[in-house]
Structure 1
Amino acid sequence: MKMTRYHKRTIAGRKLHPETQMLSYGYDPMLSEGSVKPPIFLTSTFLFRSSEDGKKLFDVIGNRAPAPEGQSGGLVYSRYNNPNMELVEDRLALFDEAEDALVFSSGMAAITTAILAFVRPGDTIAFTKPLYGATGGFIERFLANFGVKHLAIEDATSAKAIAAAIPDKEWPNLRFILAETPANPSNKLVDIAALAHLARDIGTKTGRRPMFAVDNTLLGPVFQNPLQHGADINMYSLTKYVAGHSDLIAGAVTGSEEALAPIRTLRGFIGGSLDPHSCWMLTRSLETVSLRMNRASDNAFRVAEFLSKHPRVERVNYPAFLKGDDPQRQIFERQCKGAGSTFSFVVQDGQQGAWRTLDNLQIIKLAVSLGGTESLACHPTTTMHYSLSAEERNRLGIPDGLIRLSVGVEHPDDLIADLKQALG
């Protein structure tokens, strides 16, 4: 059971930084035999002090009664909550300066549960493009079978462009807006504040404001906070940068208690919560997430700079290299604290050139996913975005010669040497 006295956010009136809080927030060693690090609570169920206590706990779990003051409810069953789950959720919420957080068994479990908590047959969901392949498939194919319509926003860099993609006639049925920024794999940026303003405007004029969620996997939690720019829900594939070691699958949403309440209820019904061991591993990873992301970002700048000057590289999609007159440059400076370490570049000779480069790599590993300590590279048009037509891929900035690169924490000179020999 979470108690507020174990959730100190200040010392002598001074606010503590997330990097410090990730090592201690929400955990009292004296409740676990003095263990400096939290143990793993491998249990499916929890004891009640009495029958009356059991009823009270279920009233809180079932939203029939509020939690006692200074507490979050109580522990009942690990599908609903678990000490390890509560600890990682507390720390994620703190990092995002959110009221609440929920962790899931995968990033897709987080995204799909969040959408299903709000969208009903006859509703419309709008989403930015390009979008992670599995997310796009869920919206365009799975939800379509249940009468959920969708609108694609291919340019979300200004209020004018967004308004053109979501005309007034679509407003009454619009229930959910989903943005991914930077987009995967083009690194195209979305104006979060402009989409948030549209959601509020729709709510004022129709009486029903659509929920606005942002997939923040590529830059969060260190380099971007969508909640600070008006998003209702912040989403993660924790598998990537937060976990950071390519050794677990997890996802999360953060936001206000009100926004997350229906998602929490649906998570309990569907059973998509995260297991205690993975939660424990995430508490370990959160201790170093700032160190890892900053080191990888520094490396990425060096690598991107090298690639931008290579004669066989046609284009580098890296936010820090955006020109001053590009609308995305203003977005980057306004809502991002850094460029991150996942970006893409286009090589000569299309797919053949991309495959040749990838197959020649010796240090950088050929695999999907991103955000690990090791550098990874892949060919999006034949992997994550294979279902898109060639015409659509090219329109969205995903040509056959594009390679996505997730830069890790190796020495940057070694990564540059590997890319130099691979490019030839």
Structure 2
Amino acid sequence: MKYFASLSRTTCCMVAALLFTLIPFMAHAFAADPARPQIPRAPFPYERREVAFEGGAAGVTLAGTLTVPSGATSMPAVVLVHGSGKTDRDESAFGHKPFWVLADALSRAGYAVLRYDKRGVGQSTGDGRAATTLNFESDARAAVDYLKRVPGIDPKRIAIIGHSEGGTIAALMSGSASPPAAAISLGGMIAPFAEQIILQEINTGRDDGADSHYETLVRRYYGQVEQAARTVDDAERMVQMKAISQAWVADFPASDRNAPAAEDSLLAHPGFLASRWFRTFLNLDVAAAISRGHGPLLVVNGSTDHQVAAGPNLNAARQALGRETATRHTLLLHGLNHLLQESASGSSNEYASIEQTMSPRAINAVIAFLNSTIGATKNRM
């Protein structure tokens, strides 16, 4: 998505948070040597293998890292699925490497873990800019299929863990005809995107000092965006989104106290609004997929998440589940933001300054759920 390169720092934070659109330069844009104490350090009690496998479309080869607990056989495995944008296998952003941190913890707990560069990122081939959520779901399925062929891995015990858009993909896969052995959504969108993006814009706007008038206009303009997104023709949809964006910008002169928030709003970026990715995401029915599923599913949100608001998201998941059980339930982690960092404010402006990459509470919840559903051959924590 070429237009992401022109976004401001705050807007990048917003996109990175809800959609986890991670642009390589962002990881170094805030501090030369940020303290990241959770980054794994050698020696490691597991084997690290550089791997490559066919993706979910012709011409797509995905490259990644597979960590395998030493001496384990017939072991359970996990595929980590990242959020949107130019995201590498570690989900690198703001100096953090959350997927490396999570993979390290999981492999120490006895799980083989595959994490991979997205299409067109790092060592993976393909055009990620033109792909939609459903295309990335196909890549996740290809990763599962690859693990089924790896000696030493139990093909019946392969789980999917996704973050942000990856969490949405995990939830979608849980209700498919060929579901993973278990699925975990970390900050993934379950409630309708049309509702979630409005809440994101309001919450991040407040971080920029926006008032109630701003919130009113956000709701009004996204009503127009939702209508325009129904336009099938790409060129015509772009024309409509440009008109909406121009009107949005005109409503906030420089003297308006809401101008900084309006400038950083995704409504100021018609290329994003007109993209096939946006249109596809807007039409996803994640709750329906959850309702179809029967296998283990955990839906996790942080209470201070400003991008995928915990309340409506978990409510949608609970309604879709019908009745929560030990193997199919939601989990609210108090005081965690969208990146699952300890954060009382939840502001995206804090992502870079927080030293913690991922709260141990989130990591432990993931491991506990996997242990209770697909089990680990060894527990090394």
TM over 0.5: no
Structure showing greater Rg: 1
Using structure 1 for the length normalisation, give the TM-score: 0.26
Q: TM-score, normalised by structure 2?
A: 0.28
Which structure has the higher relative contact order (CA within 8 Å, separation 6+)?
A: 2
